[in-house]
């Protein structure tokens, strides 16, 4: 029978004091969320699961699906796409535009810049049709991806973010989309840091004011409709002695362009100043070495697949304890990356801070018939 074993890691200091979460700032917005991407922890939030009109923040999912098509070689950056009448018709209602027309055949690279930097609705439609044939089929792809990520408060009705009945998302769901875009497509993320783009002799500036105010901000997306108010997802990465740290702020329903920028800046500054990112373990660092049965090796090295960071209130990094929970016995074969337990990080008062999968770091193949038979006898006796 398998038993669940817990092992306290003595490398961490145990100090009997409970970390108190810092007081978060007052944010003037309908809803907001601040995510520490490095530690994968939400630092503060308000009404983050309330569905709202996402406006042009929608285009993050539009871009994610297009980037997937580029990754899968169904599209290329140098490929040209036609501009349909439907894309041209996006001019109605005075939306954000790249200003393409039906006589043009822009490159995918230009359309991406038009959608991301200029927030062009016409570029979004042209890209959607280029990937999926129709906007409706592309929207279905967006919604399939949302369901794959279990975004229960998100439903897309279009690719632009224009107000439409049933078109919705939440601050938390949008943080998932943005974080996955950054992690999955780092080669395309640089689009979001570009401050201006000129196409067809029309020069437009990126509407993300923080790109010119905070050198650590390198993206991501603004949005506005009368129903949504002013929205901004801002991504910032700063260097620290123990490595780079990225925060992601989502502000929805601010009162103005200036307000969405200033409230986002307030969240980012507070997150960096009020919390420390503590690196507990390096990538593929052996945290524990344990016996293995019926394997060619007598022991297996266990740890986390990547570097483990946790976000804790400033100065509380030493007040942590780490515990391993794993199944016993471990029986070969074991594959590299196989999950065999969990690493739990908490304060000494028992407040959970993080939970990370415990995985096998090196493969342990099955032993020969005699080795397996001997270990079978030993396990039976045990």
pLDDT in tens, 71-110: 999 999 999 999 999 999 998 877 899 999 999 999 999 9
Contact 357, 34 (CB under 8 A): no
* Higher local confidence (pLDDT), 24 or 138: 138
Domains of the chain: 3-16+281-381 (2.60.410.10), 31-254 (3.40.710.10)
Structure tokens that stand for 298 in this block: 């007598």
Q: Helices 108-116 & 121-132, crossing angle to 10 degrees?
A: 140
**Average of per-residue pLDDT values in the chain:** 89
Pairing of strands 243-254, 299-303: unpaired
What span, in angstroms and rounded, lies between the C-alpha atoms of 213 and 314? 25
What 3 state SS string does the chain have? Answer: CCEEEEEEECCCCCCCCCCCCCCCCCCCCCEEEEEECCCCEEEEEECCCCCECCHHHHHHHHHHHHHHHHHCCCCCCCCECCCCHHHHHHHCCCCCCCCCCCCCCCEHHHHHHHHHCCCCHHHHHHHHHHHHCCHHHHHHHHHHHHHHCCCCCCECCCCCCCCCCCCEECHHHHHHHHHHHHHHCCCCHHHHHCCEEEECCEEEECCCCHHHHCCCEEEEEEEEECCCEEEEEEEEEEEECCEEEEEEEEEEEECCHHHHHHHHHHHHHHHHHHEEEEEEECCCCCCEEEEEECECCCEEEEECCCCEEEEEECCCCCCEEEEEEEEECEECCECCCCEEEEEEEEECCCCEEEEEEEEECCCECECCHHHHHHHHHHHHHC
Q: 381 pairs with which residues across the strands?
A: none
pLDDT value at 370 more than 60: no
pLDDT value at 183 more than 80: yes
Q: Which tens digits make up the pLDDT trace of 20-50? A: 578 889 999 999 999 999 999 999 999 999 9
pLDDT value at 128 more than 50: yes
Per-residue pLDDT band at 247 (split at 50, 70, 90): very high
Per-residue pLDDT band at 5 (split at 50, 70, 90): very low
Which is it for the CA torsion 216, 228, 179, 129, positive or negative? Answer: negative
pLDDT value at 316 more than 90: no
What span, in angstroms and rounded, lies between the C-alpha atoms of 211 and 62? 22
Per-residue pLDDT band at 58 (split at 50, 70, 90): very high
Contact 169, 68 (CB under 8 A): no
Distance of CA 213 to the CA centre of its chain: 23
pLDDT value at 13 more than 60: no
What span, in angstroms and rounded, lies between the C-alpha atoms of 282 and 112? 36
Nearest CA among 151, 148, 127 for reference residue 62: 127
Q: Which tens digits make up the pLDDT trace of 189-220? A: 999 999 999 999 999 999 999 999 999 999 99
What span, in angstroms and rounded, lies between the C-alpha atoms of 172 and 154? 10
Residues taking part in catalysis? 56, 59, 119
What span, in angstroms and rounded, lies between the C-alpha atoms of 132 and 250? 29
What span, in angstroms and rounded, lies between the C-alpha atoms of 237 and 216? 5
Per-residue pLDDT band at 379 (split at 50, 70, 90): low
41-46 sheet: strands from edge to edge: 41-46, 31-36, 243-254, 229-240, 217-225
Per-residue pLDDT band at 15 (split at 50, 70, 90): very low
**pLDDT score at 369:** 66
pLDDT value at 227 more than 80: yes
Structure tokens that stand for 310 in this block: 């946790």
Structure tokens that stand for 49 in this block: 């699961």
**pLDDT score at 377:** 52
Per-residue pLDDT band at 352 (split at 50, 70, 90): confident
**pLDDT score at 378:** 56
Per-residue pLDDT band at 364 (split at 50, 70, 90): confident
């Amino acid at each position: 029978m398998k038993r669940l074993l817990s092992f306290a890691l003595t490398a961490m200091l145990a100090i009997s004091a409970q970390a108190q979460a810092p007081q978060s700032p007052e944010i003037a917005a309908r809803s907001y969320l601040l995510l520490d991407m490095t530690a994968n922890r939400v630092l503060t939030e308000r009404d983050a699961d309330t569905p709202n009109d996402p406006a042009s923040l929608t285009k993050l999912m539009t871009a994610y699906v297009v980037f997937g098509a580029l990754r899968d070689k169904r599209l290329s950056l140098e490929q040209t796409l036609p501009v349909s009448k439907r894309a041209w018709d996006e001019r109605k209602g005075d939306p954000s535009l790249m200003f393409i027309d039906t006589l043009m055949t822009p490159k995918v690279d230009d359309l991406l810049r038009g959608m991301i930097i200029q927030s062009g609705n016409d570029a979004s439609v042209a890209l959607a049709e280029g990937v999926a044939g129709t906007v409706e089929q592309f929207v279905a792809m967006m919604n399939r991806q949302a369901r794959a990520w279990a975004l229960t408060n998100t439903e897309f009705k279009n690719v632009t973010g224009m107000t439409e009945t049933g078109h919705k998302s939440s601050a938390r769901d949008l943080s998932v989309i943005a974080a996955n875009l950054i992690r999955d497509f780092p080669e395309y993320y640089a689009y979001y840091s570009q401050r201006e783009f000129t196409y067809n002799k029309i020069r437009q500036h990126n509407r993300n004011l923080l790109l010119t105010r905070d050198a650590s901000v390198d993206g991501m997306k603004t949005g506005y409709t009368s129903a949504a108010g002013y929205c901004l997802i801002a991504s910032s990465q700063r260097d620290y002695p123990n490595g780079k740290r990225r925060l992601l702020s989502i502000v929805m329903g601010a009162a103005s362009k200036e307000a969405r920028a200033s409230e986002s800046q307030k969240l980012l500054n507070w997150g960096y100043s009020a919390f420390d990112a503590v690196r507990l373990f390096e990538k593929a660092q052996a945290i524990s070495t344990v016996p293995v049965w019926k394997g060619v090796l007598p022991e297996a090295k266990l740890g986390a697949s990547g570097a483990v960071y946790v976000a804790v209130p400033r100065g509380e990094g030493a007040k942590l304890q780490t515990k391993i929970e794993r199944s016993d016995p471990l029986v070969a074969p074991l594959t590299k990356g196989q999950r065999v337990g969990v690493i739990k990080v908490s304060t000494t008062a028992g407040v959970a801070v993080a939970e990370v999968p415990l995985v096998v770091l090196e493969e342990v193949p099955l032993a020969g018939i005699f080795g397996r038979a001997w270990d079978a006898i030993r396990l039976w006796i045990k």
